[in-house]
Amino acid sequence: MMLTKPHPSSRLLLPTTTAFPNPSPNPSRVTALGSGRGRRGHHRVCASSVAPAQPASVAQPTAPALSRVDVLSEALPFIQRFRGKTVVVKYGGAAMKSPELQSSVIRDLVLLSCVGLRPVLVHGGGPEINSWLGRVGVEPQFRNGLRVTDALTMEVVEMVLVGKVNKQLVSLISVAGATAVGLCGKDARLLTARPSPDAAALGFVGEVTRVNPSVLHPIIESGHIPVIATVAADETGQAYNINADTAAGEIAAALGAEKLLLLTDVSGILADRNDPGSLVKEIDIAGVRQMVADGKVGGGMIPKVECCVRALAQGVYTASIIDGRVPHSLLLEILTDEGTGTMITG
Protein backbone atom coordinates (compact mmCIF):
# COMPACT_ATOMS: atom_id res chain seq x y z
CA MET A 1 0.00 0.00 0.00
CA MET A 2 1.30 3.43 -0.89
CA LEU A 3 0.13 6.86 0.15
CA THR A 4 1.43 10.06 -1.38
CA LYS A 5 1.43 13.60 -0.06
CA PRO A 6 2.78 17.01 -1.04
CA HIS A 7 6.02 18.08 0.59
CA PRO A 8 5.19 19.12 4.18
CA SER A 9 5.68 22.58 5.54
CA SER A 10 8.89 22.95 7.48
CA ARG A 11 7.11 25.04 10.12
CA LEU A 12 6.41 23.51 13.51
CA LEU A 13 4.14 26.35 14.65
CA LEU A 14 0.49 25.39 14.32
CA PRO A 15 -2.67 27.55 14.28
CA THR A 16 -4.47 28.18 17.53
CA THR A 17 -6.96 25.45 16.66
CA THR A 18 -5.17 22.10 16.92
CA ALA A 19 -6.01 19.17 14.65
CA PHE A 20 -6.24 15.75 16.26
CA PRO A 21 -6.10 12.84 13.81
CA ASN A 22 -8.64 10.16 12.93
CA PRO A 23 -8.07 6.40 13.21
CA SER A 24 -5.20 4.95 11.20
CA PRO A 25 -4.54 1.27 10.39
CA ASN A 26 -0.87 1.76 11.22
CA PRO A 27 -0.18 1.43 14.98
CA SER A 28 3.08 3.39 14.66
CA ARG A 29 1.06 6.43 13.64
CA VAL A 30 -1.18 6.32 16.72
CA THR A 31 -1.08 9.67 18.44
CA ALA A 32 -2.93 9.13 21.69
CA LEU A 33 -2.49 6.16 23.97
CA GLY A 34 -5.78 4.29 24.21
CA SER A 35 -7.58 6.84 22.04
CA GLY A 36 -7.65 4.72 18.90
CA ARG A 37 -6.74 7.75 16.81
CA GLY A 38 -4.01 7.83 14.16
CA ARG A 39 -1.98 10.59 12.52
CA ARG A 40 -4.53 11.53 9.89
CA GLY A 41 -7.89 13.25 9.85
CA HIS A 42 -9.24 16.50 11.18
CA HIS A 43 -11.06 15.98 14.47
CA ARG A 44 -10.62 19.47 15.87
CA VAL A 45 -10.65 20.65 19.46
CA CYS A 46 -10.50 24.40 20.05
CA ALA A 47 -8.85 25.95 23.07
CA SER A 48 -12.26 27.28 24.10
CA SER A 49 -13.73 23.76 24.24
CA VAL A 50 -11.20 22.39 26.70
CA ALA A 51 -10.86 25.33 29.09
CA PRO A 52 -13.49 27.25 31.09
CA ALA A 53 -14.41 30.69 29.84
CA GLN A 54 -12.26 33.45 31.32
CA PRO A 55 -13.77 36.58 32.86
CA ALA A 56 -13.51 39.59 30.60
CA SER A 57 -11.19 41.28 33.06
CA VAL A 58 -8.58 38.52 32.86
CA ALA A 59 -5.76 39.22 30.40
CA GLN A 60 -5.76 36.68 27.55
CA PRO A 61 -2.54 35.08 26.22
CA THR A 62 -1.15 36.47 22.98
CA ALA A 63 -1.59 34.53 19.74
CA PRO A 64 2.11 33.52 19.51
CA ALA A 65 1.98 32.20 23.07
CA LEU A 66 -1.16 30.17 22.31
CA SER A 67 0.50 28.80 19.19
CA ARG A 68 3.46 27.58 21.22
CA VAL A 69 1.12 25.95 23.73
CA ASP A 70 -0.78 24.27 20.89
CA VAL A 71 2.49 22.83 19.58
CA LEU A 72 3.26 21.34 22.99
CA SER A 73 -0.28 20.03 23.32
CA GLU A 74 -0.14 18.27 19.96
CA ALA A 75 3.26 16.77 20.78
CA LEU A 76 2.15 15.25 24.10
CA PRO A 77 0.55 12.05 22.70
CA PHE A 78 3.64 11.40 20.61
CA ILE A 79 5.93 11.95 23.59
CA GLN A 80 3.80 9.44 25.52
CA ARG A 81 3.96 7.02 22.60
CA PHE A 82 7.76 7.13 22.22
CA ARG A 83 8.89 7.84 25.79
CA GLY A 84 11.54 5.29 26.79
CA LYS A 85 11.86 4.01 23.20
CA THR A 86 15.14 3.90 21.29
CA VAL A 87 15.29 5.96 18.08
CA VAL A 88 18.32 5.58 15.79
CA VAL A 89 19.09 8.62 13.63
CA LYS A 90 21.52 8.52 10.73
CA TYR A 91 22.95 12.00 10.19
CA GLY A 92 24.86 13.13 7.14
CA GLY A 93 24.67 14.93 3.82
CA ALA A 94 23.52 18.54 3.43
CA ALA A 95 22.37 18.75 7.05
CA MET A 96 26.05 18.52 8.07
CA LYS A 97 27.21 21.26 5.71
CA SER A 98 25.03 24.10 6.94
CA PRO A 99 25.79 25.41 10.45
CA GLU A 100 22.14 26.43 10.81
CA LEU A 101 20.83 22.97 9.87
CA GLN A 102 23.47 21.30 12.02
CA SER A 103 22.37 23.36 15.00
CA SER A 104 18.73 22.51 14.26
CA VAL A 105 19.41 18.77 14.15
CA ILE A 106 21.45 18.79 17.35
CA ARG A 107 18.85 20.83 19.27
CA ASP A 108 16.07 18.54 18.06
CA LEU A 109 18.07 15.49 19.15
CA VAL A 110 18.62 17.00 22.59
CA LEU A 111 14.93 17.91 22.87
CA LEU A 112 13.95 14.31 22.10
CA SER A 113 16.33 13.13 24.80
CA CYS A 114 14.96 15.64 27.32
CA VAL A 115 11.34 14.47 26.83
CA GLY A 116 12.24 10.84 27.42
CA LEU A 117 13.17 9.31 24.07
CA ARG A 118 16.47 7.45 23.77
CA PRO A 119 18.20 8.77 20.65
CA VAL A 120 21.29 7.16 19.11
CA LEU A 121 23.16 9.21 16.51
CA VAL A 122 25.03 7.42 13.71
CA HIS A 123 26.90 9.79 11.44
CA GLY A 124 28.79 10.00 8.21
CA GLY A 125 30.90 12.94 7.16
CA GLY A 126 31.25 12.89 3.40
CA PRO A 127 31.67 16.64 2.80
CA GLU A 128 34.36 16.89 5.50
CA ILE A 129 36.16 13.82 4.13
CA ASN A 130 36.15 15.29 0.64
CA SER A 131 37.60 18.53 1.96
CA TRP A 132 40.49 16.77 3.70
CA LEU A 133 41.16 14.50 0.73
CA GLY A 134 41.54 17.64 -1.36
CA ARG A 135 44.15 18.93 1.09
CA VAL A 136 46.30 15.85 0.52
CA GLY A 137 45.79 15.92 -3.25
CA VAL A 138 43.38 12.98 -3.59
CA GLU A 139 40.35 13.25 -5.86
CA PRO A 140 37.28 11.55 -4.27
CA GLN A 141 35.87 8.70 -6.33
CA PHE A 142 32.54 6.91 -6.00
CA ARG A 143 31.09 3.73 -7.40
CA ASN A 144 27.36 2.96 -7.10
CA GLY A 145 27.06 5.56 -4.39
CA LEU A 146 29.94 4.15 -2.30
CA ARG A 147 33.27 5.85 -1.75
CA VAL A 148 36.25 4.12 -3.37
CA THR A 149 38.60 3.74 -0.39
CA ASP A 150 42.28 2.96 -0.95
CA ALA A 151 44.76 2.84 1.93
CA LEU A 152 45.39 6.61 1.97
CA THR A 153 41.70 7.41 1.72
CA MET A 154 40.96 4.99 4.57
CA GLU A 155 43.49 6.79 6.75
CA VAL A 156 41.83 10.14 6.01
CA VAL A 157 38.32 8.70 6.53
CA GLU A 158 39.23 7.38 9.98
CA MET A 159 41.03 10.57 10.96
CA VAL A 160 38.13 12.80 9.90
CA LEU A 161 35.16 10.69 11.06
CA VAL A 162 36.54 9.46 14.37
CA GLY A 163 38.92 12.24 15.33
CA LYS A 164 37.13 15.34 14.06
CA VAL A 165 33.46 14.97 13.10
CA ASN A 166 32.58 12.63 15.95
CA LYS A 167 34.10 14.82 18.64
CA GLN A 168 32.61 17.95 17.12
CA LEU A 169 29.10 16.41 17.33
CA VAL A 170 29.70 15.31 20.93
CA SER A 171 30.73 18.87 21.79
CA LEU A 172 27.68 20.39 20.08
CA ILE A 173 25.34 18.08 21.98
CA SER A 174 27.04 19.05 25.23
CA VAL A 175 26.66 22.76 24.44
CA ALA A 176 22.96 22.18 23.65
CA GLY A 177 22.41 20.79 27.14
CA ALA A 178 22.71 16.99 26.93
CA THR A 179 25.58 14.57 27.39
CA ALA A 180 26.97 12.43 24.59
CA VAL A 181 29.53 9.64 24.32
CA GLY A 182 31.57 9.43 21.10
CA LEU A 183 32.34 5.99 19.72
CA CYS A 184 33.33 4.29 16.48
CA GLY A 185 32.73 0.74 15.33
CA LYS A 186 36.14 -0.32 16.63
CA ASP A 187 35.32 0.58 20.25
CA ALA A 188 34.44 -2.52 22.31
CA ARG A 189 33.97 -4.32 18.97
CA LEU A 190 30.72 -2.45 18.51
CA LEU A 191 30.84 -3.27 14.78
CA THR A 192 32.75 -6.10 13.16
CA ALA A 193 33.37 -5.70 9.44
CA ARG A 194 34.30 -7.75 6.43
CA PRO A 195 35.33 -6.63 2.93
CA SER A 196 32.61 -5.67 0.49
CA PRO A 197 31.90 -8.27 -2.23
CA ASP A 198 33.10 -5.57 -4.66
CA ALA A 199 36.35 -5.06 -2.73
CA ALA A 200 38.47 -5.22 -5.88
CA ALA A 201 36.83 -2.01 -7.11
CA LEU A 202 35.94 -0.34 -3.79
CA GLY A 203 39.03 -1.09 -1.69
CA PHE A 204 38.54 -0.85 2.08
CA VAL A 205 34.76 -0.51 2.00
CA GLY A 206 33.23 -2.96 4.42
CA GLU A 207 30.01 -4.64 5.40
CA VAL A 208 28.77 -5.19 8.94
CA THR A 209 28.95 -8.84 9.99
CA ARG A 210 28.17 -8.39 13.68
CA VAL A 211 26.92 -5.73 16.09
CA ASN A 212 27.76 -5.91 19.79
CA PRO A 213 25.28 -3.51 21.44
CA SER A 214 26.38 -4.32 25.01
CA VAL A 215 28.57 -1.21 25.12
CA LEU A 216 25.59 0.96 24.12
CA HIS A 217 23.06 -0.26 26.70
CA PRO A 218 24.62 1.37 29.80
CA ILE A 219 25.18 4.61 27.87
CA ILE A 220 21.56 4.76 26.76
CA GLU A 221 20.16 3.71 30.12
CA SER A 222 22.17 6.46 31.80
CA GLY A 223 20.42 9.07 29.66
CA HIS A 224 23.45 9.80 27.47
CA ILE A 225 23.39 9.97 23.66
CA PRO A 226 25.74 7.59 21.82
CA VAL A 227 27.37 9.26 18.80
CA ILE A 228 28.79 6.62 16.48
CA ALA A 229 31.30 7.07 13.63
CA THR A 230 31.01 4.31 11.03
CA VAL A 231 34.59 3.04 10.94
CA ALA A 232 34.97 -0.62 11.90
CA ALA A 233 37.59 -3.36 11.82
CA ASP A 234 37.59 -6.99 10.75
CA GLU A 235 38.82 -9.89 12.88
CA THR A 236 42.44 -9.05 12.03
CA GLY A 237 42.11 -5.37 12.96
CA GLN A 238 42.03 -4.02 9.39
CA ALA A 239 39.96 -0.83 9.29
CA TYR A 240 37.02 -0.46 6.91
CA ASN A 241 34.81 2.40 5.83
CA ILE A 242 31.17 1.42 6.48
CA ASN A 243 28.26 3.09 4.73
CA ALA A 244 26.49 5.14 7.44
CA ASP A 245 22.98 4.16 6.31
CA THR A 246 23.88 0.49 6.49
CA ALA A 247 25.54 0.84 9.89
CA ALA A 248 22.55 2.74 11.29
CA GLY A 249 20.17 0.02 10.14
CA GLU A 250 22.22 -2.77 11.69
CA ILE A 251 22.62 -0.86 14.97
CA ALA A 252 18.87 -0.13 15.08
CA ALA A 253 18.11 -3.83 14.62
CA ALA A 254 20.61 -4.90 17.30
CA LEU A 255 19.12 -2.41 19.79
CA GLY A 256 15.52 -3.36 18.99
CA ALA A 257 14.84 0.28 18.13
CA GLU A 258 11.35 1.63 17.73
CA LYS A 259 12.31 3.82 14.78
CA LEU A 260 15.13 4.23 12.28
CA LEU A 261 15.37 7.65 10.67
CA LEU A 262 17.69 8.40 7.75
CA LEU A 263 18.36 12.11 7.17
CA THR A 264 19.04 12.54 3.47
CA ASP A 265 19.33 15.22 0.79
CA VAL A 266 15.95 14.35 -0.76
CA SER A 267 12.37 14.65 0.47
CA GLY A 268 11.89 10.87 0.58
CA ILE A 269 10.72 8.24 -1.91
CA LEU A 270 8.95 9.76 -4.92
CA ALA A 271 6.27 7.94 -6.91
CA ASP A 272 7.67 9.78 -9.93
CA ARG A 273 11.37 10.64 -9.69
CA ASN A 274 10.78 13.62 -12.00
CA ASP A 275 8.01 15.06 -9.85
CA PRO A 276 9.14 16.46 -6.47
CA GLY A 277 5.47 16.73 -5.47
CA SER A 278 4.86 12.97 -5.69
CA LEU A 279 6.24 12.15 -2.25
CA VAL A 280 5.20 8.73 -0.98
CA LYS A 281 4.01 9.30 2.56
CA GLU A 282 3.78 5.71 3.72
CA ILE A 283 4.54 2.36 2.13
CA ASP A 284 5.06 -1.22 3.26
CA ILE A 285 7.93 -3.57 2.42
CA ALA A 286 6.07 -5.25 -0.44
CA GLY A 287 5.19 -1.88 -1.96
CA VAL A 288 8.71 -0.49 -1.83
CA ARG A 289 10.15 -3.71 -3.30
CA GLN A 290 7.69 -3.38 -6.16
CA MET A 291 8.81 0.19 -6.75
CA VAL A 292 12.43 -0.97 -6.96
CA ALA A 293 11.45 -3.75 -9.38
CA ASP A 294 9.53 -1.23 -11.52
CA GLY A 295 12.53 1.10 -11.65
CA LYS A 296 10.75 3.86 -9.72
CA VAL A 297 13.42 3.73 -7.03
CA GLY A 298 16.98 3.90 -8.27
CA GLY A 299 20.45 5.31 -7.79
CA GLY A 300 21.50 6.27 -4.30
CA MET A 301 17.99 5.66 -2.93
CA ILE A 302 18.32 1.88 -3.41
CA PRO A 303 20.89 1.33 -0.61
CA LYS A 304 18.75 3.45 1.73
CA VAL A 305 15.62 1.45 0.93
CA GLU A 306 17.49 -1.84 1.31
CA CYS A 307 18.86 -0.68 4.66
CA CYS A 308 15.35 0.15 5.88
CA VAL A 309 13.88 -3.13 4.66
CA ARG A 310 16.64 -5.14 6.34
CA ALA A 311 16.15 -3.24 9.63
CA LEU A 312 12.40 -3.85 9.54
CA ALA A 313 12.94 -7.54 8.82
CA GLN A 314 15.08 -7.72 11.97
CA GLY A 315 12.47 -6.18 14.25
CA VAL A 316 12.68 -2.39 13.92
CA TYR A 317 9.10 -1.09 14.04
CA THR A 318 9.25 1.64 11.38
CA ALA A 319 11.92 3.21 9.19
CA SER A 320 11.69 6.69 7.70
CA ILE A 321 13.64 8.47 4.98
CA ILE A 322 13.37 12.21 5.65
CA ASP A 323 14.79 15.40 4.22
CA GLY A 324 17.60 16.67 6.43
CA ARG A 325 17.50 20.01 4.60
CA VAL A 326 14.12 20.81 6.19
CA PRO A 327 14.53 22.55 9.56
CA HIS A 328 13.26 20.41 12.45
CA SER A 329 12.55 17.44 10.19
CA LEU A 330 13.22 15.08 13.12
CA LEU A 331 10.54 16.74 15.24
CA LEU A 332 8.13 16.92 12.32
CA GLU A 333 8.48 13.18 11.76
CA ILE A 334 8.23 12.07 15.38
CA LEU A 335 6.09 14.67 17.18
CA THR A 336 3.46 15.87 14.68
CA ASP A 337 0.35 14.50 12.97
CA GLU A 338 1.65 14.69 9.42
CA GLY A 339 5.26 13.57 9.78
CA THR A 340 7.64 14.25 6.93
CA GLY A 341 9.37 12.16 4.32
CA THR A 342 8.56 8.51 3.66
CA MET A 343 7.75 5.99 6.38
CA ILE A 344 8.31 2.30 5.53
CA THR A 345 6.47 -0.27 7.62
CA GLY A 346 6.90 -4.01 8.05
DSSP string, 46-68: -HHHHSPPPPTTSPPPPHHHHHH
Closest alpha carbon to 258 in 24, 78, 104: 78
pLDDT computed for residue 280 by the predictor: 94
Q: Over the stretch 93-148, which tens digit does the pLDDT of each residue have?
A: 777 888 888 999 999 999 999 999 999 999 998 889 999 999 999 999 988 778 99
- Cα–Cα distance measured from residue 345 to residue 287, given in angstroms and rounded to the nearest whole number: 10
Q: Give yes or no for residue 8 having a pLDDT over 80.
A: no
Residue 236 in any domain: the answer is yes
Closest alpha carbon to 196 in 158, 156, 230, 234: 234
Average pLDDT value over all residues in the chain: 84
29: DSSP letter: G
The band of 74, judged by pLDDT with boundaries at 50, 70 and 90, is confident
The band of 11, judged by pLDDT with boundaries at 50, 70 and 90, is very low
Q: Give yes or no for residue 212 having a pLDDT over 50.
A: yes
Strands ordered across the beta sheet of 342-345: 2-5, 279-284, 342-345, 318-323, 259-264, 86-91, 118-123, 225-229, 180-184
- Cα–Cα distance measured from residue 175 to residue 179, given in angstroms and rounded to the nearest whole number: 9
Q: Yes or no: say if 71 and 302 are a contact pair by the CB < 8 Å rule.
A: no
Mean pLDDT to the nearest integer, 261-290: 91
Residue 26 in any domain: the answer is no
Residue 156 in any domain: the answer is yes
Residue 136 in any domain: the answer is yes
Q: Give yes or no for residue 32 having a pLDDT over 60.
A: no
Residue 328 or residue 67, greater confidence: 328
Number of domains in the chain: 1
Cα three-residue angle 256-259-262, rounded to 5 degrees: 120
State the sign of the Cα–Cα–Cα–Cα dihedral 155, 156, 162, 164: positive
Residue 287 in any domain: the answer is yes
The band of 317, judged by pLDDT with boundaries at 50, 70 and 90, is very high
Q: Yes or no: say if 307 and 246 are a contact pair by the CB < 8 Å rule.
A: yes
For residue 306, the number of C-alpha atoms closer than 13 Å in the C-beta half-sphere is 12
How many of the other CB atoms lie within 10 Å of CB of 31?
A: 23
For residue 336, the number of C-alpha atoms closer than 13 Å in the C-beta half-sphere is 20
Mean pLDDT to the nearest integer, 315-338: 91
- Cα–Cα distance measured from residue 310 to residue 183, given in angstroms and rounded to the nearest whole number: 23
- Cα–Cα distance measured from residue 229 to residue 238, given in angstroms and rounded to the nearest whole number: 16
pLDDT computed for residue 28 by the predictor: 41
Residue 15 in any domain: the answer is no
Mean pLDDT to the nearest integer, 308-337: 92
Q: Residue 238 sits in a domain of what CATH number?
A: 3.40.1160.10
Kind of pairing between the strands at 180-184 and 259-264: unpaired
Beta strands in the chain (DSSP E): 2-5, 18-22, 40-45, 86-91, 118-123, 142-143, 146-147, 180-184, 191-195, 205-211, 225-229, 231-233, 239-242, 259-264, 279-284, 318-323, 342-345
Helix (H, G, I), strand (E, B) or coil at 87: strand
Q: Give yes or no for residue 36 having a pLDDT over 50.
A: no
Residue 151 in any domain: the answer is yes
- Cα–Cα distance measured from residue 150 to residue 136, given in angstroms and rounded to the nearest whole number: 14
Residue 22 in any domain: the answer is no
Share of the chain above pLDDT 90, in %: 61
Range of the domain at 272: 74-345
